[in-house]
Amino acid sequence: MKRVLYITTIALAASLISSCEGFLSRNPDNRISAEVFLSSENDLRIYSNGLANSYMVGSSVAIGNNAYTDFCATKLSSDKFHPGIWSADKAEGWSSGNFSFIRQCNYMIQNMDKAKENVSPAVWNHYMGVARFWRADAHMRKLRSFGNIPWIDRYLQPDDPQLYAGRDDREFVFHQILQDLEFAADNCSETIEVSRTNVNRWVALAYIARACLWEGTYRLYHDTNPTTGAFWNKQYESPQELIKRAEDAADEIIFSGEFSLHGGNVQTAYGELFNQNKINAEEVIWGREFSEDLSVSHDITGEFNSPTWGQQYSPTKEFVRMYLKTDGNPVTADNISFTREFDGRDWRMWQTINSPGHKYQTLSGTIEDKPTKFNEVFTGYAWIKWNQEKAENYRAGALCYNALPIFRLAEMLLVKAEAAEILGTMSESVWNSTIGALRERSGVRSIYPGNAAFIADTWLRDYYNEDVKHARVLSNTLLEIMRERAVEMAMECESRYDDLMRWNYGDLIERRYNHQGWRGIYVTADEAAAGISFNGAVYNVKLGGNHDEYNYPIANTGADQTFSLSAGTYGYLIYNYRLEWDDKMYVSPIPTSALNVNKNLGQNLGW
């Protein structure tokens, strides 16, 4: 019978071969038997590196669920948000293979005692911390998707009754996740395998900061557990305790002296974090590097620049509106040509979205202004964050080798700021050292919301509170922190999607622009008549025609997957694409295929 939670018994060697490149080159007479493996420091290193090789994130760091939010338009959205499509019959994520990684972690945890006599306590505890870190991460990913899940803390055999048990309560599971992460933070070394790509104490602390802020604010803004609809049981950490733990973990990193914001030219410093082949060791706490020599690459640039591959991911007007002016004040209107929108704006905007004068290398090797091809985007805006700006990298499937940051000091500053505001300890000093520091790094004047010079952004408040459901009191400080998360963490670590989920703003995915679709550039009446001049090319947005590099065909019918102009012959470009949202979507359904094998799992509320 198919096992729902775990793979059936497999040889340890097979597991290791699939997860660690080092075994692929071994001669047959050098193979390691399961009886003696994990008995030396080298064994522990090999196995932990195998865990990392099989579970480290790739291009999903930049895209993932961020693609399906209010801030990113796509040619086709996720089936999850299409009216009448998503169901338990279509759901995935609960097959035996989905749980095999947890089994590998538990194998290491359960068999490491063989090394105790051969390594120092510090080394043994470090690798135990690494194994528990990965086990926590694997459970956390599933908790974010499904809510209540089973907590698996042992290496299961095929006849283990837990294979057919029900799910554990989310609060218990997160408590166990936190215990694993705390062990990792207490025991993972700062000196063993020194690298920004390996799990160490700082990585574990950063994970605690991110995870505790997620879960603490999730419970703060959701009255009930979405798995059951029941009120939180409050048997473990309270939302405030989790948020305080997030703040404390962030503080340890911030005040360690180990990290600093990458500085330099405000016009380039931010972008340098994402387009270099080496991890920026100043600011990046943990990341992944790629190598042509080792044949390890990703394809983000191709996904962002190919007209045939990927989803033609495109920033939206709502995202662009988040950027402040360099004087620290919000824009008062966005009905201006996008060729002028960048004037006097936060320099991160110039380094995140294709902007006037942005350069790329052509196939012939010349450096030119980069056009925005309309058959590659659906809003008129184009992502450049993460790009390696060479035309050879724009092809479908093109290989890229720029490093992907996973945790940065900037995120820890954002965690600190949000936690302080929620807990009532925000001050001008805290503001200046967190949000203020990020803004000044990008050439934006920092204005504390408590100062007389501060100008409240009524558009921002209305954006979040447009729906009567969300008529919650949001302080100006919290709104500005939410803004800062949007621009600093754009298309990074699924941050926007996660923020919408934990803040209880999932419905923004559906309501976007008057429930019609994604709003893009503003086309003036003159541009509608004569075309838009941008970076050496002329673009047309007018009735009829074909959708190609330089033309948007306006239908003005409101039909799905067609373009409209908000004022008929000019105005905001609208990519009409209706979606749906139901609060049951805060958790995914347990797949029917899993329930057919194990009815004890139970289904999430509403599915």
Could you give the 3-state DSSP secondary structure of residue 342? coil
* Helical axes 201-221 vs 170-187, angle rounded to 10°: 160
DSSP-derived letter for residue 436 is H
Could you give the 3-state DSSP secondary structure of residue 533? strand
- The torsion region of residue 187 among left (phi > 0), alpha (psi -120 to 50) and beta comes to alpha
Closest CA to 286 of 185, 186, 202, 208: 202
| Structure tokens, 504 | 């209880």
Is 523 among the domain residues?
yes
Give me the chain's average pLDDT, please.
Answer: 91
What's the pLDDT at 83? 87
What span, in angstroms and rounded, lies between the C-alpha atoms of 521 and 354? 13
Residue range of the domain that includes 544: 517-576
What's the pLDDT at 36? 79
State the average pLDDT over residues 579-593: 96
What span, in angstroms and rounded, lies between the C-alpha atoms of 286 and 305? 27
Is 550 among the domain residues?
yes
- Give the helix/strand (H/E) hosting 520: strand 517-523
Listed range (13-17, 125-129, 147-151, 435-439) with the worst mean pLDDT: 13-17
- Residue reference for tokens 């936060």: 346
DSSP-derived letter for residue 296 is B
More confidently predicted of 17 and 211: 211
What's the pLDDT at 182? 98
State the average pLDDT over residues 508-523: 95
Type of residue numbered 272: E
Q: What is the tens place of the pLDDT at every residue in 297-344?
A: 899 999 999 998 889 999 999 999 999 999 999 999 999 999 999 999
pLDDT at 530 over 70: yes
What span, in angstroms and rounded, lies between the C-alpha atoms of 93 and 91? 7
Could you give the 3-state DSSP secondary structure of residue 249? helix
DSSP-derived letter for residue 205 is H
Listed range (83-92, 165-174, 288-297, 564-573) with the worst mean pLDDT: 288-297
Is 324 among the domain residues?
no
What's the pLDDT at 5? 39
What's the pLDDT at 469? 65
Is 551 among the domain residues?
yes
Is 501 among the domain residues?
no
pLDDT at 13 over 50: no
* Helical axes 201-221 vs 239-254, angle rounded to 10°: 150
Q: What total number of domains does the chain contain?
A: 1
pLDDT at 21 over 50: no
What's the pLDDT at 33? 60
What span, in angstroms and rounded, lies between the C-alpha atoms of 353 and 18? 38
What's the pLDDT at 310? 82
What's the pLDDT at 216? 98
Q: What is the tens place of the pLDDT at every residue in 420-450?
A: 999 999 999 999 999 999 999 999 999 999 9
Listed range (86-100, 251-265, 410-424, 427-441) with the worst mean pLDDT: 86-100
pLDDT at 607 over 60: yes
State the average pLDDT over residues 154-183: 96
Is 16 among the domain residues?
no
Do β-strands 404-408 and 517-523 pair in parallel, antiparallel, or remain unpaired?
Answer: unpaired
pLDDT band at 194 (very low <50, low <70, confident <90, very high): confident
Is 354 among the domain residues?
no
What span, in angstroms and rounded, lies between the C-alpha atoms of 158 and 138? 21
pLDDT at 255 over 90: yes
HEC states along 467-495?
Answer: CHHHCCCCCHHHHHHHHHHHHHCCCCCCH
State the average pLDDT over residues 163-187: 97
pLDDT at 540 over 60: yes
DSSP-derived letter for residue 1 is -
DSSP-derived letter for residue 115 is G
pLDDT band at 60 (very low <50, low <70, confident <90, very high): confident
pLDDT at 474 over 90: yes
Closest CA to 392 of 305, 311, 491: 305
Is 530 among the domain residues?
yes
Listed range (16-30, 106-120, 444-458, 533-547) with the worst mean pLDDT: 16-30
- CA-based radius of gyration for the chain: 25
Q: Which residues pair with 345 in a beta bridge?
A: 325
Listed range (193-197, 443-447, 488-492) with the worst mean pLDDT: 193-197
